[in-house]
Amino acid sequence: MGRMVGSHIRMAPLNGWVKTDNRHLDEKIKIRRYFLDKYPLKTYRVIDCCAGEQAIWGILRRHYPIQYTGLDKNRVDSGVVKIAAERWLRDVEWSADVLDIDPYGEPWPIYFAALENYMGEDLTVFLTNCNAPIKTVRLMSKSVRAKLGIPEKWKIWHSKKISDMATQACLSHVVDCGFEVVEAKKIVLPDRAEWCYMYMGMRLRWLKK
Ligand SMILES: C[S@@+](CC[C@H](N)C(=O)[O-])C[C@H]1O[C@@H](n2cnc3c(N)ncnc32)[C@H](O)[C@@H]1O
């Protein structure tokens, strides 16, 4: 784990990883503002699947009318339910205008649960995806392996190339779930040598069958 320096800066060991909740907060806010402004509502019903410290929506709440529900598998706070978001999205009947998925690694299991259980018409989804160095990340999740057609028994570690492939395959799940992509934007941030963060925003319309 990194060493605390001062009150808010952390030093990471060279080959290690420190989980930082809000790396590149400005970019995260920027892409969210773009979609909130482009598709205005009297009140935005937001489900924040990885609420963390609520840094993002704490800021946005000052500028937009927000009805907020937070989920976080590790935290409980006012307005935040302590639960794995993918479980909540599958078990609870929900509807929303905005869904925010900002985990540390891959957003896909939560994204699949959201698309497969959505009740509504128009939805804006924000995703954070991080391709990270091979030594520091877990095995690829079961749901992503299933999407790529990789047998469960095979041990596949994330690498940049595989993550890129997985990103394409996983994003396309919107179409399988009957959505039309009205608009999509991304911000890609090359970080340290092997790291790559991608922030995405998508405006979706559900074409009911
Ligand atoms: C990068 S931080 C989120 C920062 C947050 N968006 C903010 O504005 O402060 C990632 C958070 O996602 C939570 N998390 C990761 N996977 C999750 C999951 N499957 N379901 C719910 N919370 C999850 C972690 O516990 C952590 O608090």
Radius of gyration of the CA atoms of the chain, in A: 17
Identify the pLDDT of residue 163. 75
**What is the phi/psi pair of residue 208, to 5°?**
-60, 140
State whether the beta carbon of 98 lies less than 6 angstroms from ligand 1. Answer: no
Count CA atoms within 13 Å of residue 133 on its CB side.
Answer: 11
Whether pLDDT at 162 is above 90:
no
Query: C-alpha dihedral over 55, 198, 152, 73, to 10 degrees?
Result: 0
Q: What is the mean pLDDT of residues 159-168?
A: 78
User: Between 50 and 16, whose confidence is greater?
Assistant: 50
pLDDT at 209 over 80: no
Task: Compute the distance between CA of residue 35 and CA of residue 186 in angstroms, rounded to an integer.
Answer: 12
Hunting for tokens 């391709």 — which residue is that?
131
The answer to whether the CB of 101 falls within 8 A of the CB of 109 is no
Task: Give the mean model confidence (pLDDT) for residues 171-195.
Answer: 84
User: Looking at residue 75, what is its pLDDT?
Assistant: 85
**Residue 143 and residue 200: Cα distance in Å, rounded?**
20
Is the minimum distance from the CB of 71 to ligand 1 under 6 angstroms?
yes
Residues 6+ apart with CB under 8 A from 118: 95, 177, 206
Distance 49 CA to ligand 1 centre (A): 7
Pocket test for ligand 1, best of 50, 88, 89, 108 (most atoms within 8 A of CB): 50
Stretch 84-94: mean pLDDT, rounded?
Answer: 97
CA-to-CA distance for 144 and 161, rounded, in angstroms? 14
Average pLDDT over the chain, rounded to whole? 83
- For the stretch 31-74, pLDDT in tens is 999 999 999 999 999 999 999 999 999 999 999 999 999 999 99
**What is the residue whose two structure tokens read 């039309």?**
180
pLDDT over 50 (residue 132): yes
What 3-state class would DSSP assign to 78? coil
Best residue for ligand 1 mutational test, from 73, 76, 87 (most atoms within 8 Å of Cβ): 73
pLDDT at 20: 60
Does residue 181 line the site of ligand 1, with CB under 6 A? no
Higher confidence at residue 9 or residue 134? Answer: 134
pLDDT of residue 165: 81
CA distance 61 to 67: 9
Q: Which range (6-15, 76-85, 192-201) has the least confidence? A: 6-15
Residue indicated by tokens 């060279």: 14
- Which domains are present in the chain? 22-206 (3.40.50.150)
Query: Pick the residue with more confidence: 196 or 66?
Result: 66
Residue 107 Cβ inside 6 Å of ligand 1? The answer reads no
Residue nearest ligand 1's atom 26 by CA: 52
Using pLDDT thresholds of 50, 70 and 90, give the confidence band for residue 19.
low
Nearest CA to ligand 1 atom 16: 103
Task: Tell me, in angstroms, the distance from the centre of ligand 1 to residue 159's CA.
Answer: 22
Task: Work out the widest C-alpha separation in the chain, in whole angstroms.
Answer: 56
Residue carrying the six token digits 């994330």: 158
Identify the residue with better confidence: 161 or 133. Answer: 161
